[in-house]
Structure 1
Amino acid sequence: MRATARIRAVADGRGGTALPVLAGEGPLALRRTRGRATEAGVVLVGAMSGPLGGDHLAVEAVVEAGAHLRLTSAAATLALPGRGGESARYDVDLTLEEGASVRWLPEPLVSVRRSDLRVRTRARLAPGARLLLREEQVLGRAGEASGLLRSRLTVSRGGRPLLDQELACGPGAPGGWDGPAGLAGHRAIGQLLVVDPAFTTRPAAAAMLGEFASVTPLAGPAVLVTALAPDGLRLRELLDSALGAYGW
């Protein structure tokens, strides 16, 4: 199955944000929700199980100048095995114009046993745009081994690279991913990326949030929080504590 959800957000001229394009396909249904102040809210609702092996799902959002979007999902995403052992793909593409902001706060992605999923997230920001992006990945359901999960996140600002990182976990991933220099036995991995022009004058400081979580300023007006946890609940607690610190 191939399916794409498309969103276009524009400033409505009255201090709010309008959504002239809000269209989902197949298992990707979009529903408008209340945002805060000038922000439009959209929730991604999984109308079917997936992604299954062989599926290619995509979310594309363009947020024009001065518009503000909060994008969430209604439930966790389960990467499931297909009948033929094919890999599945899940792409997220965000474009933010000058003065725009996006909060992309999906529920966790769970890598189910024997699944094979490639996740690619791209964000392109104008210099004056702001982005809050959360990723949470859980390796297997309760008492279950993980599938193969490969994810890549690339972010550019003003046409220049800001962040480009890749992670591979589970059976078939490069050796050492679960060792002391990797996940060290943890089953939940997450990160929180905040890109904000305010960091140009008030840079964030590097810090530790416990033994397995850290705050890292990036070479640009951005900060990256990374965390490992034994389960998704503890991971969310760690990321929420960082989220509250930045007032987003």
Structure 2
Amino acid sequence: MRGSAGVRSVARILARDDGRGGTSLPVLESDGPLALRRTRSTGTGARVMLVGAMSGPLGGDHFTVEARVEEGARLSLGSAAATIALPGQAKGEARYDVRLDVADGGELHWLPEQLISAHGSDLYVATRVELAATARLVLREEQVLGRTGEEPGRLTSRLTVRVADRVVLDQELACGPGAPGGWDGPAVLAGHRAVGQLVVVRPEFATEPVTARALGEGASLVPLAGPAALVTAVAPDALRLRRLLDEALTSLA
């Protein structure tokens, strides 16, 4: 149940090479609104879905997802439905922390569904990724400002990615009421209501970096200062945003 201070919920996943060409999950723990379910996967990796057991995050809630991929293991982690940030009875912002850690030779795909900032909500999302030198990553973030026909709440999102203890990406975007001026202007969202990014880390990018280029209207690809590439995209709606990011990932295959 939610109290006056909001709900605290933590989900933990540990993926490990099982020694037989597959991936085991010795740790798969969750509580409160965050429920974890292992689902059928293809190949040698494991696949886990986050299933929302309650609405939220609401004001005052604090959700945390922690995933560790050990050497040689492969994990795909997603969500069963969009996450909707809502206003709540508790005062103060809600928080959603995502902490991802991948060892050498490990591979992680973090592909949640969209995060929707509903009117009146206030959410801070912090995603921190630690990768070893030969780790692989595909990370997708999608934010939708407001449900159909409504103004958004306040949404602040920070993403930090480190490879071999070196920062390759550290950026923050704040949108909605009370955010610094200009977030909806031509230099940032230009009136769009869906924004997303795709981070791809591969060891081969260290010697063969991607070429910076536009990826159709609303999306661009740039190399990062390390074995990584970043796609950023804006779109009028969630469907168009997903299409842009899917096409970008296909172009990097």
* TM-score, normalised with respect to structure 2: 0.96
Identity %: 66
Residue 93 (structure 2) pairs with residue 81 (structure 1)? no
The equivalent residue for 1:171 is: 177
Residue 109 (structure 2) pairs with residue 103 (structure 1)? yes
User: Which of 194, 206, 209 is the matching residue for 1:203?
Assistant: 209
Kindly report which structure 2 residues correspond to 1:5-16, keeping only aligned pairs within 5 A, or say none.
Answer: 5-16=11-22
Deviates more, 1:115-124 or 1:195-204: 195-204
- Post-superposition CA distance 1:46-104 (Å, at most 9, x none): 01000000000000001111110000000000000012442100000001011000000
The equivalent residue for 1:128 is: 134
What is the Cα deviation at residue 211 of structure 1? 3.0
Residue 118 (structure 2) pairs with residue 115 (structure 1)? no
User: Which of 140, 148, 153 is the matching residue for 1:142?
Assistant: 148
What is the Cα deviation at residue 34 of structure 1? 2.0
The equivalent residue for 1:241 is: 247
For the residues of structure 2 that align with 1:106 and 1:133, how far apart are their CA atoms?
9
Provide structure 1 residue ranges, at least 5 long, that are not aligned to the other structure: none
For the residues of structure 1 that align with 2:91 and 2:177, how far apart are their CA atoms?
13
- Post-superposition CA distance 1:152-198 (Å, at most 9, x none): 00010111111100000000000111011121100000000000002
The equivalent residue for 1:45 is: 51
Say which SS state the counterpart of residue 82 (structure 1) adopts: coil
For the residues of structure 2 that align with 1:68 and 1:176, how far apart are their CA atoms?
40
Say which SS state the counterpart of residue 199 (structure 1) adopts: helix
What is the Cα deviation at residue 36 of structure 1? 2.4
The equivalent residue for 1:151 is: 157
RMSD of the alignment, in Å?
0.8
* TM-score, normalised with respect to structure 1: 0.98
Tell me the number of residue pairs that the alignment of Structure 1 and Structure 2 aligns: 247
Q: Which runs of 4+ in 1 moved over 6 A?
A: none
- Post-superposition CA distance 1:203-230 (Å, at most 9, x none): 2111101232100111111100000000
The equivalent residue for 1:56 is: 62
User: Which of 65, 68, 75 is the matching residue for 1:69?
Assistant: 75
